[in-house]
């Protein structure tokens, strides 16, 4: 049990910060946020500091990809909906310790982008413990990818998809098969004789067609038009991940089938083709238009500490610093259906709490002083 | 023209309000108040005026002219031979490839361009402006350093095709041997010339500094030891991976450091970058330049983001801004022309709405390169 005293609380339930204390219970939940809370327990002094929710990274591969190991790209065929990132993650990876030091308390961990359909993703906390203890939502999405990654992967073997035409076909064809599979199951009405043969890959697509989870699509520039067209056609939700060039397509991205846009990370200058536009201004542009938007690390492709830097670049391009903090907390939590647990500081939520020297999406030199997950202090500067 | 009422951050640690008079691409005058009724006036009230950032070791001008997801033309990467000191990066630089990146919109006005870390001796480096077409017209200064490397990348580039080097043994033996041969080399009538040794001899004679990339502190120690007999040789260590607050030998020997980073956390070598340790060395007098990613996946934000990372540690702009401006200029031998806001220097200036080493709300209002506006707030950021 702790009381975090006298901090400037960016709760994400209010648009402006306020001075308050936070009571953290032994259950690992926030018990109260308010003035002058006292309790017989350890006091953490946050006077003069910013108290913010644990950061949520909406697109990451930490624990599943390292220099010598690759457990999130099953590139033996272009569509592998049947696999599940749950089995590709090493919960003891050092990357989770790095995440804690960088304030990332929750990540959406997903298959890579080598395949058009990559498999299921899940939401997992960074705290030590078994994978089963730490997963807070599984599945949370079905990963898909467009553009140069799947093209590059299969062009080597002269196998479809070598083109964007092939990618659009494979995406659509998979969703068609899932729909027909569901129809057959429904027609069978529980009669084992009439049931279609069990197909795990198609089973994994059912929650997508039922709009329980989105298709999470690695998408740059003009590919987002293709993705939204397919989303409308099958009436499914999609998230547009990476999303470089999103500022060219506001009219497309405001469609209700777009659950969210997850921008970044930047890890290069401009380069021809899908790397041809880098537009942090889309964060404000989408936010102003009511589209849920966040940024990502894509960890460990870029380092975990860059989540804040990218939110900072969105601020440089006009976004309010508190909205930028909301992007990497509540917006991401909502996109991941995890907002009942994480993303804001309010009674009943997981006590995933950070103390910074100052608002980190505004003040560049603001250091992280403490990371708490589930009411346990896991890092102190 | 006159830039009035701005706050100057001179790049050498001083911050003060002043007016600037620009003339012929240079800073002609800095004074509390300059009045010249006949000249154009830009009112910079409320603005912070910083020198343009200088990226010491970059691949700008080499990136961006190839095919999709291949960001590099590889023209600074002559992999036919690990020893190519006779080559000059000036001939790799494509003006349009640099210009299209709009580096001015990210606060950069000047870049050091270098051969890769894949050769033991890669060739000579040069300093370029960031906006233009004709690469030679954009060249601020050629032959500012000889780029060398003792990194694992050499082994990856050659050893795998069964060509030396396969080991660090070869790398250090050849570094030592090439310097020895160059120091003994003389141009003799009727004898064929050795262009490689002639190039290295210039380094041994101290005509230009030797920039050596390393993976670990031990690499750096070996390099420092090998160059020691050559009194005129000026060593600059690059990368900084594995150096810590305990690496005081750098300070004692007056060896400057160019810090690079990796965008890839999968890279264990680059993950050993200890910025806190390097900051501690800087406090003891180590000259540090902040550069950026050591690959063609460099970002336009590299220098600024490394500066921000350093601000989190040092909390002192008067120490960090020089690492992004005047120290890179000094290491690249262009400190007589740029890297700080002083009368007589090139007008390489960036007008910010706030201090970028303080807040992310800092936006660029205008970037001047040699007195010419290359970016103004509201200009469309280009697309490839």
Give me B346's structure tokens: 């090139």
Distance from the B74 Cα atom to the nearest Cα atom in chain A, whole angstroms: 14
Q: Where in chain A is the domain with CATH 3.20.20.140?
A: 55-342
- For tokens 């509390």, the residue is B32
Position B71 scores a pLDDT of 60
Q: Indicate the CATH number for domain A55-342.
A: 3.20.20.140
Which CATH number, 2.40.10.340, 3.40.50.2300, 3.50.50.60, 2.30.40.10, labels domain A1-53+344-381? 2.30.40.10
- Quick check: helix, strand or coil at residue B38? coil
Q: Using CA of residue B160, residue B165, residue B167, residue B168, what is the dihedral sign? A: negative
Contact by Cβ (8 Å): A206, A215: no
Instruction: Give A-chain residues touching B65 at CB under 8 angstroms.
Output: 272
Q: How far apart are CA B73 and CA B21, in angstroms?
A: 40
Nearest chain A residue to B101 by CA: give it.
Answer: A270
Q: Tell me: the pLDDT tens digits for B114-164?
A: 999 999 999 999 999 999 999 999 999 999 999 999 999 999 999 989 999
Domain B53-338 has CATH 3.40.50.12780: no
Q: What is the mean pLDDT of chain B?
A: 94
Q: Which among B264, B301, B382 has CB closest to A266?
A: B301
Per-residue pLDDT of chain A (381 residues; tens, 9 = 90+): 999 999 999 999 999 999 999 999 999 999 999 999 999 999 999 999 999 999 999 999 999 987 677 899 999 999 999 999 999 999 999 999 999 999 999 999 999 999 999 999 999 999 999 999 999 999 999 999 999 999 999 999 999 999 999 999 999 999 999 999 999 999 999 999 999 999 999 999 999 999 999 999 999 999 999 999 999 999 999 999 999 999 999 999 999 999 999 999 988 888 888 888 999 999 999 999 999 999 999 998 888 889 999 999 999 999 999 999 999 999 999 999 999 999 999 999 999 999 999 999 999 999 999 999 999 999 999
Chain B residues touching residue A364 (CB < 8 angstroms): 308, 311-312, 356-360
Q: Pinpoint the residues of chain A covered by CATH 2.30.40.10.
A: 1-53+344-381
Using one digit for the tens of pLDDT, what is the confidence trace for B312-365? 999 999 999 999 999 999 999 999 999 999 999 999 999 999 999 999 999 999
B116: its two tokens: 């890769």
How many angstroms away from the CA of A61 is the closest CA of chain B?
Answer: 11
Q: Write down the pLDDT at residue B70.
A: 58
Q: Which two tokens stand for residue B273?
A: 């970058």
- Domain residues of chain B, as ranges? 1-51+339-378, 53-338
Asked if B64 is an interface residue toward chain A (Cβ–Cβ < 8 A), one would say: yes
Residue-level pLDDT at B69 = 58
Mean pLDDT of B84-107: 95
The whole-number pLDDT of residue B68 equals 58
> Which residue in this structure is represented by tokens 């299209």?
B100
Give the Cβ contact number of residue B232 at 10 Å.
Answer: 10
What are the E-state strand segments in chain A? 2-9, 18-24, 30-34, 42-45, 50-53, 55-60, 104-109, 117-125, 135-145, 215-219, 238-242, 258-263, 293-295, 353-356, 368-373, 376-380
Write the pLDDT tens digit of every residue in B221-240: 999 999 999 999 999 999 99
C-alpha Rg value of chain A to the nearest Å: 21
Surface of A (156-195) touching B: CB under 8 A = none
The pLDDT of residue B64: 59
Q: How many residues does chain B have?
A: 384
Domain formed by B1-51+339-378, architecture: Roll (2.30)
Partnered with residue B239 across adjacent β-strands are: B259
Quote the tokens at residue B337: 């022309």
CA A3 centroid distance within chain: 30
Res. B65: pLDDT tops 60 = no
Rounded average pLDDT over B236-254 = 97
Buried b or exposed e, range A193-221, using 16+ CB within 10 angstroms? eeeeeeeebbebbbbbbeeebbbbbbbbb
Question: How far is it, in rounded angstroms, from Cα B199 to Cα B192?
Answer: 15
């Amino acid at each position: 049990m702790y009381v975090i005293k006298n901090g400037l609380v960016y709760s994400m339930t209010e648009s402006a910060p306020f001075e308050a204390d936070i009571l953290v219970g032994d259950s690992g939940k926030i018990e109260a946020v308010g003035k002058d809370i006292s309790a017989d327990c350890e006091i953490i002094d946050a006077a003069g500091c910013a108290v913010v929710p644990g950061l949520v990274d909406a697109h990451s591969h930490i624990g599943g990809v390292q220099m010598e190991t690759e457990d999130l790209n099953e590139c033996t065929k272009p569509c592998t909906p049947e696999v599940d990132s749950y089995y590709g993650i090493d919960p003891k990876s050092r990357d989770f310790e790095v995440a804690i030091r960088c304030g990332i308390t929750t990540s959406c961990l997903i298959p890579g982008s080598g395949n058009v359909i990559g498999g299921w993703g899940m939401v997992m906390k960074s705290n030590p413990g078994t994978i089963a203890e730490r997963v807070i939502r599984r599945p949370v999405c079905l990963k898909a990818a467009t553009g140069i990654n799947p093209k590059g992967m299969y062009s080597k073997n002269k196998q479809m998809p070598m083109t964007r035409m092939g990618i659009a076909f494979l995406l659509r064809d998979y969703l068609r098969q899932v729909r027909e599979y569901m129809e057959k199951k429904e027609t069978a009405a529980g009669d084992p004789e009439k049931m279609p043969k069990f197909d795990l890959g198609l089973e994994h697509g059912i929650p997508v067609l039922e709009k329980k989870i989105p298709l999470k699509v690695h998408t740059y520039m003009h590919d987002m038009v293709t993705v939204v067209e397919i989303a409308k056609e099958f009436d499914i939700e999609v998230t547009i991940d990476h999303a470089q060039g999103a500022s060219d397509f506001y009219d497309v991205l405001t469609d209700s089938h777009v659950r969210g846009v997850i921008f970044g990370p930047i890890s290069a200058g401009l380069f021809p083709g899908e790397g041809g536009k880098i537009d942090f201004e889309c964060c404000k542009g989408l936010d102003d238009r009511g589209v849920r938007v966040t940024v990502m690390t894509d960890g460990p492709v870029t380092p975990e500490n860059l989540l804040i830097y990218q939110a900072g670049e969105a601020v440089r391009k006009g976004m309010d610093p508190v909205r930028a903090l909301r992007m990497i907390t509540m917006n991401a939590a909502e996109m991941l259906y995890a907002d009942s647990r994480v993303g804001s500081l309010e009674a009943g939520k997981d006590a995933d709490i950070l103390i910074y020297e100052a608002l980190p999406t505004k003040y560049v030199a603001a250091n992280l002083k403490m990371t708490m997950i589930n009411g346990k202090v896991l890092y102190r500067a | 023209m006159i830039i009035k009422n701005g706050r100057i951050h001179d790049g050498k640690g001083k911050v003060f309000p002043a007016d600037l008079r620009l003339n012929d691409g240079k800073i002609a005058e800095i004074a509390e108040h300059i009045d010249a009724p006949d000249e154009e006036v830009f009112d910079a009230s409320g603005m912070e005026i910083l020198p343009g950032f200088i990226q010491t070791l970059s691949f700008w001008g080499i990136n961006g002219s190839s095919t999709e997801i291949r960001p590099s033309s590889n023209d600074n990467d002559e992999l036919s031979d690990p020893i190519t000191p006779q080559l000059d990066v000036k001939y790799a630089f494509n003006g349009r490839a640099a210009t299209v990146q709009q580096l001015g919109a990210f606060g950069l006005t000047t870049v050091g361009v270098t051969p890769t870390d894949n050769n033991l001796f890669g060739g000579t480096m040069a300093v370029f402006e960031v906006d233009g077409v004709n690469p030679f017209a954009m060249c601020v200064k050629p032959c500012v350093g000889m780029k060398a490397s003792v990194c694992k990348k050499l082994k990856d580039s050659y050893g795998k095709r069964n060509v030396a080097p396969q080991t660090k043994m070869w790398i250090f033996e050849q570094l030592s041997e090439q310097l020895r041969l160059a120091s003994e080399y003389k141009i003799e009538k009727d004898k064929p010339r050795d262009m490689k040794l002639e190039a290295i001899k210039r380094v041994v004679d101290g005509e230009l500094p030797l920039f050596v990339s390393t993976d670990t502190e031990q690499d750096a120690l070996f390099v420092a030891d090998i160059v020691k007999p050559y009194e005129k040789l000026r060593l600059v260590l690059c990368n900084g991976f594995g150096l810590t607050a305990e690496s005081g030998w750098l300070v004692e020997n007056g060896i400057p450091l160019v810090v690079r980073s990796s965008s890839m956390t999968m890279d264990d070598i680059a993950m050993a970058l200890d910025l806190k340790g390097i900051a501690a060395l800087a406090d003891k007098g180590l000259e540090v330049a902040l550069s950026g990613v050591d690959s063609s996946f460099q970002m336009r934000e590299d220098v600024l983001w490394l500066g921000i990372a350093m601000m989190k540690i040092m909390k002192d702009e008067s120490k960090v801004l020089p690492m992004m401006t005047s120290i890179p200029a000094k290491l690249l031998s262009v400190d007589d022309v740029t890297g700080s806001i002083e009368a007589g220097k090139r007008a390489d200036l960036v007008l910010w709405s706030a201090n970028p080493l303080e807040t992310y709300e800092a936006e660029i209002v205008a970037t001047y390169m040699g007195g010419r506006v290359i970016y103004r707030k509201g200009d469309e950021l280009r697309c490839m």
